[in-house]
Amino acid sequence: MRLLKRPKPVESAVSDSERELFGGPLRYDLGWTDHEWDFLETSLLSAVRAMPRMVAGTLRLAWRTDRPALLTVGVAEAGQGLTAALGLLVVNSVLGSLLADGSAADRVSDAVPALIAGAVVAVAGALLASWSTSAAGRLEPKVERAANEQYLHAAARVELEAIEDGEFRRLIDTAQHGPPSARRMVGACVATMNGVISLLAVGGVLTVLHPLLLPMLLLIAAPRGWGAMRVSQRRYLSVMAWVEHLRASRLIAGLLISRSAAHEVRVHGVGRFLLRHYRNMAESAETEATRLAKDKAATELLAAALSGVAALITYGAMAALIMSGRMELAVAGTAVVAVRSGSASLGALVMTTNSLHEESLYVRDMERFLTEAGNRSIPSGGLPLPEPTKVITLEGVSFSYPGRETPALAELSLTIPMGSVVALVGENGSGKSTLVKLLAGLHLPDSGRLAWDGVDVAEADREQIFDRVSLLTQDFERWPVTARANIEIGRPDAADGDLTAAARYSGADLIAETLPKGFDTLLARVFRGASELSGGQWQKFGLARAQYRDARMIVVDEPTSALDPGAEIAAFDRIRGLADERRAVVLVTHRMSGVRYADLIYVLHEGRLVEQGDHESLLAAGGRYASMFHMQAEQYGHGAGAGTGVPHQGGSAPKPT
């Protein structure tokens, strides 16, 4: 008969903030856990049987990270179990001496050797416990670090479409509990090992004293095991259901202290708005916590009552044995100590086994994530790319995002020769960003062929594709590291990169001269003593990073959005200068001042290629490109700056259309 029934998730009210900010409840549908209930629907006994399987993965991880520490823990815990058994034998000897016939002085004198032995055993047990604690303290953080590395490595290796998939994001959310749970499992394993060995020692002594005492001991601890497991499983269900709600609450709290949101938080009064919603969502979570606390209190009260009844039955049975003459008084005294000690050991074992059970649920989530991440990871190996590459071609390429009926790209065919500057033009939603992701190897075409000198990217070594691509997007990462590292991170493993040349090329060297520590200045105002750059200065560092990477194809997306007109012209000149016989530049921009000098211009509309050519031929054709060009020229006014992207006196750079 099962001690546990399947726990049911409890439906909770949806807060007003969830509806207003996120459009509905932030609760995961726990239907995905149905196939896991063979693991969750378990009795105390089956959990004990499953314990080796639950902890095997963590122990293997511990074995790989610090083998000597793991062996030390094992030896020390085995030694403590031995001292526990010896301690009970000492108690029996002492009681036997004290309750024997003879004078009080003789009985005390006879008990002295056993008392001395007991003191030695106690000291040995304390030393072994200290030794185990020290080794476990060294092992636990290493296990957590190794588990975190597995988790982060797997997350960094998956395809981009997995990161953009909401269901996979759920796996990432739940798996983040795995590494700290793996660390806690080390401590739980130590405690469980100690409990098992101690219980075996106590059980052996009780069996010798009287065979009836051992099942009585199990009867005392069984209700506590039932209560602990029921509480842990309900807590696990709650954590899984509320994980997205928790992430949303943290997001709101993060916005309140974010540097990027600081202006609107203060000027627009967004701080009060966000704080109100944070409080509303926190109160909703508190309601769930209160429900769990009440359920835990009721469960533990029932378990304690049942355990008390079992203890009463046990001591009653012992009294009957004494009165019937089938148990001596000295043996009974030892049995009382052993039952109390065994009950405590078994109760602790139940709790630690339950802790292993609970923590293993989270480690199991991480293992599920690692398996899924492995299935969706970027493949290793493939056909090598030609060196040098001469041309990149797209032939009838189509691509659709999951869940969208309209393709982002449809039947797209174009070429990107090395040594050229290729511009991608089109309104928002025309497919430019999707095309950039395909060129960079972040997505693969659903149909058609994208090839580097005839080598299809679907069959190529993706690492080689990444190695030959450099991305400089409008929102490129402003890494919170030094100015030097912000450039060198363009190719972190480069042993012979020329930082000076890259910085001089973009103008970042002049910016570095104004920084307190030059290139060693930390560019993150969230740290004490650090500096911050303006948007235009950051873009010069981004351009330096792209030049430092020395890739075969440099993709720049809106690279001059934060620059003034004069700096914009200079930046476009530098970007065009990156193209040479072994390198192509793909330029995505709304600024015609950069587009007009491109060797090839591809005009996209609703995912299709509608026009192509150079600036003059496209203007002469009078199509979509010409319309966009003249519309922007009118924004700038007529005269010297018309059509060049340079605003007239008093004008301002146009907003991207």
The predicted structure's pLDDT at residue 176 = 86
Chain centre distance of CA 139: 21
The predicted structure's pLDDT at residue 388 = 86
137-165 confidence digits (pLDDT tens) = 889 899 999 999 999 999 889 998 888 88
Please state, in angstroms and rounded to a whole number, the distance separating the CA atoms of residues 47 and 2: 11
CA neighbor of 132 nearest in space, from 62, 82, 85, 191: 191
Which range, of 293-297, 314-318, 499-503, 616-620, averages the lowest pLDDT?
Answer: 314-318
Are 457 and 444 a contacting pair, CB within 8 Å? yes
Task: Take residue 198 and report the two structure tokens written for it.
Answer: 């101690």
Are 246 and 28 a contacting pair, CB within 8 Å? no
Instruction: Phi first, then psi: give them for residue 362, nearest 5 degrees.
Output: -75, -40
Which range, of 297-301, 455-459, 567-571, averages the lowest pLDDT?
Answer: 567-571
Tell me, letter by letter, the H, E, C secondary structure of 179-205: HHHHHHHHHHHHHHHHHHHHHHHHHHH
pLDDT higher than 60, residue 45 = no
pLDDT higher than 80, residue 181 = yes
Instruction: Phi first, then psi: give them for residue 456, nearest 5 degrees.
Output: -65, 130
Mean pLDDT of 506-527: 88
Please state, in angstroms and rounded to a whole number, the distance separating the CA atoms of residues 200 and 198: 5
Phi-psi bin for 622: left (phi > 0), alpha (psi -120 to 50), beta? left
Mean pLDDT of 312-327: 76
In the chain, what is the straight-line distance between the N-terminal and C-terminal CA atoms, in Å? Answer: 69
Q: Which amino acid is at 242?
A: W
Mean pLDDT of 270-286: 84
Cα-trace Rg, the chain: 35
Please state, in angstroms and rounded to a whole number, the distance separating the CA atoms of residues 535 and 313: 77
Please state, in angstroms and rounded to a whole number, the distance separating the CA atoms of residues 280 and 285: 9
The whole-model pTM stands at 0.69
Q: What share of the chain is helix, strand, coil (3-state, %, to 5)?
A: 65, 10, 25
pLDDT higher than 90, residue 417 = yes
Are 588 and 557 a contacting pair, CB within 8 Å? yes
pLDDT higher than 90, residue 399 = yes
Evaluate the omega torsion of the peptide bond into residue 388 and state whether it is cis, within 30 degrees of 0.
yes
* 3-class secondary structure, 522: strand
CA neighbor of 144 nearest in space, from 186, 86, 172: 186
Q: Within 10 Å of residue 10's Cβ, how many Cβ atoms?
A: 13
The predicted structure's pLDDT at residue 514 = 93
Are 420 and 599 a contacting pair, CB within 8 Å? yes
One DSSP character per residue, 473-511 reads: -TT----SSBHHHHHHTTSTT-SS--HHHHHHHHTHHHH
Mean confidence (pLDDT) of the chain? 79
The predicted structure's pLDDT at residue 657 = 32
* Distances in whole angstroms, Cα of residue 510 to Cα of each of 505, 507, 537: 10, 6, 10
Q: Provide the 8-state DSSP code for 5.
A: P
529-563 confidence digits (pLDDT tens) = 788 888 888 888 988 998 899 889 999 887 666 56
Please state, in angstroms and rounded to a whole number, the distance separating the CA atoms of residues 413 and 448: 9
Q: Which amino acid is at 631?
A: M
Mean pLDDT of 581-586: 89
* 3-class secondary structure, 611: strand
pLDDT band for position 2 (50/70/90)?
Answer: very low
Q: Within 10 Å of residue 494's Cβ, how many Cβ atoms?
A: 13
What residue ranges in 15-112 does DSSP mark as E strands? Answer: none
Place of tokens 């490595």: 153
Of 27 and 246, the one with more pLDDT: 246
The predicted structure's pLDDT at residue 33 = 41
* 3-class secondary structure, 586: strand
Which range, of 271-275, 461-465, 512-516, 567-571, averages the lowest pLDDT?
Answer: 567-571
pLDDT band for position 602 (50/70/90)?
Answer: very high
pLDDT higher than 60, residue 232 = yes
Strands 469-472 and 553-557: parallel
Are 559 and 543 a contacting pair, CB within 8 Å? yes
The predicted structure's pLDDT at residue 31 = 39
Percent of the chain residues past pLDDT 70, beyond the cut: 81
Which range, of 17-26, 276-285, 414-423, averages the lowest pLDDT?
Answer: 17-26
Please state, in angstroms and rounded to a whole number, the distance separating the CA atoms of residues 323 and 303: 30
pLDDT higher than 70, residue 280 = yes
Are 626 and 619 a contacting pair, CB within 8 Å? yes
The predicted structure's pLDDT at residue 618 = 92
pLDDT higher than 50, residue 471 = yes
pLDDT higher than 90, residue 391 = yes
88-130 confidence digits (pLDDT tens) = 677 767 766 776 777 777 777 877 888 888 888 889 888 988 8
pLDDT higher than 60, residue 644 = no
